[in-house]
Amino acid sequence: MRAVVIDGPGSIRVDSRPDPVLPGPDAAIVAVTAAAICGSDLHFYDGEYPLAEPVALGHEAVGTVVEVGAAVRTVAAGDAVLVSSVAGCGACPGCATRDPVMCYSGPQIFGSGALGGAQAELLAVPAADFQLLAIPEGISTEQALLLTDNLATGWAAAQRADIPVGGTVAVLGLGAVGQCALRSAFAHGAATVFGVDGVAGRRDRAAAAGATPVEVPGTEALLAATGGRGVDAVIDAVGSDASMTAALSAVRPGGTVSVVGVHDLAPFPFPALAGLLRSVTLRLTTAPVQRTWPQLIPLLVSGRLDVDGLFTNTLPLSEAAAGYAAVAARSGDELKVILTP
């Protein structure tokens, strides 16, 4: 099969790899019909995470089941499915909460080395009853891809931000996760959502969704807009030292900072005294993907949550390198790219 592989910063190629086999009786093999490039894939592309060996990339995929193990009960060959980006064993008390991050064996993420990459023709999925969901009627391919990661992450970020009904929220970083987070913040009752980003096109996209655009760094503008007090909640969809520092500075006393941006490997110099004196709550979240589906799917099907227009390009798998370069440019034109094997 063909698979997208990275072997160094900026070095993307489509490689030939052996077809996967069932890793166990609870597993499935999925023929990938669409995979997406995620902002967190860029940590490998930008050289922020070391590579001991070439890694097959991708953790956002939808496809068709082509084979299942004898113990699989919820999907069958021929079913169109979406794959949770975060995997658990599916059998422990942690996974019983529908949150793979709570897995007693430790969560794993597709496309990070331990599991196969989803930007490929075929993908082996362990614990298929836990990781796979038959795509419900009324859910488009684009929506299904967002349900594998970005929308689940943005939704969880808003859930954990303690947003008061009628409150104010700032979303730092308006990539795909940030765009999903600001839409989720409105769904959680925010009256005003500030979209903070250095790219005008991304701010325009946020404004079209009802957000108030703010240029980076944004802290002074957010304080000015709230009479100097700060916003009720900040969602940091960047996860850098600069964004986390800005988030902690822009939130009001007693407010919450919800971080879903992926930080690099260096420790963050946390301003503990300032946070203590202002009674700030800090939460860092990897999305409980499976747990979000019962909430998000009805909202998407009913039209109460609109995430249309976040995908800006579709390319064949053979043009993965061009897709990565476009996403890595972080422009307002290319927000999220689909790769089709």
When pLDDT is cut at 50, 70 and 90, the band that residue 139 belongs to is: very high
Q: What angle do CA 87, 88, 91 make, to 5 degrees?
A: 145
Mean pLDDT over the full length of the chain = 96
pLDDT above 90 (res 114): no
Cis preceding linkage at 107, omega within 30: no
Strands of the chain, DSSP E: 2-8, 11-16, 28-36, 55-56, 61-68, 80-83, 86-87, 108-109, 122-125, 132-134, 168-172, 192-197, 212-215, 231-236, 251-259, 281-284, 313-316, 337-340
Residues 57 and 133 in one domain: yes
Q: What is the largest CA-CA distance in the chain?
A: 62
- d(CA 310, CA 22) in angstroms, rounded, equals 33
Residues 235 and 328 in one domain: no
- Taking only the tens place, the pLDDT of each residue in 232-263 is 999 999 999 999 999 999 999 999 999 999 99
- d(CA 63, CA 31) in angstroms, rounded, equals 5
Whether the CB-CB separation of 271 and 245 falls below 8 Å is answered with yes
Final residue of a structural domain among 284, 313, 331: 284
In this prediction, residues 88-117 reach a mean pLDDT of 95
Residues 65 and 91 in one domain: yes
Residues 10 and 85 in one domain: yes
When pLDDT is cut at 50, 70 and 90, the band that residue 160 belongs to is: very high
- Taking only the tens place, the pLDDT of each residue in 14-68 is 999 999 999 999 999 999 999 999 999 999 999 988 888 899 999 999 999 999 9
Q: What's 27's domain CATH number?
A: 3.90.180.10
Q: Residue holding tokens 């391919």?
A: 141
In this prediction, residues 165-181 reach a mean pLDDT of 98
Residues 325 and 244 in one domain: no
Beta-carbon contacts of residue 231 (< 8 Å; ≥ 6 apart): 167, 168, 169, 170, 194, 222, 250, 251, 252, 255
- Please tell me the predicted confidence (pLDDT) of residue 184: 98
Residues 6 and 145 in one domain: yes
Residues 165 and 128 in one domain: no
| Rg of the chain in Å (alpha carbons) | 20
- d(CA 50, CA 9) in angstroms, rounded, equals 9
Residues 183 and 144 in one domain: no
pTM of the model: 0.95
Domains in the chain: how many in total? Answer: 2
Final residue of a structural domain among 267, 284, 301: 284
Give the distance from CA 91 to its chain's centroid.
Answer: 24
Look up residue 268 and give its amino acid.
F
Distances (CA, A) of 256 to 157, 159, 161, 225, 331: 11, 11, 6, 18, 29
- Please tell me the predicted confidence (pLDDT) of residue 218: 87
| Structural domain boundaries, residue 193 | 153-284
Residues 133 and 20 in one domain: yes
Beta-carbon contacts of residue 331 (< 8 Å; ≥ 6 apart): 199, 201
Residues 170 and 254 in one domain: yes
Residues 91 and 220 in one domain: no
When pLDDT is cut at 50, 70 and 90, the band that residue 168 belongs to is: very high
pLDDT above 90 (res 331): no
Residues 245 and 214 in one domain: yes
Q: What's 213's domain CATH number?
A: 3.40.50.720
At 249 the three-state DSSP class reads: helix
At 193 the three-state DSSP class reads: strand
When pLDDT is cut at 50, 70 and 90, the band that residue 333 belongs to is: confident
- Please tell me the predicted confidence (pLDDT) of residue 264: 85
When pLDDT is cut at 50, 70 and 90, the band that residue 163 belongs to is: very high
- Taking only the tens place, the pLDDT of each residue in 255-295 is 999 999 999 888 999 999 999 999 999 999 999 999 999 99
pLDDT above 80 (res 113): no
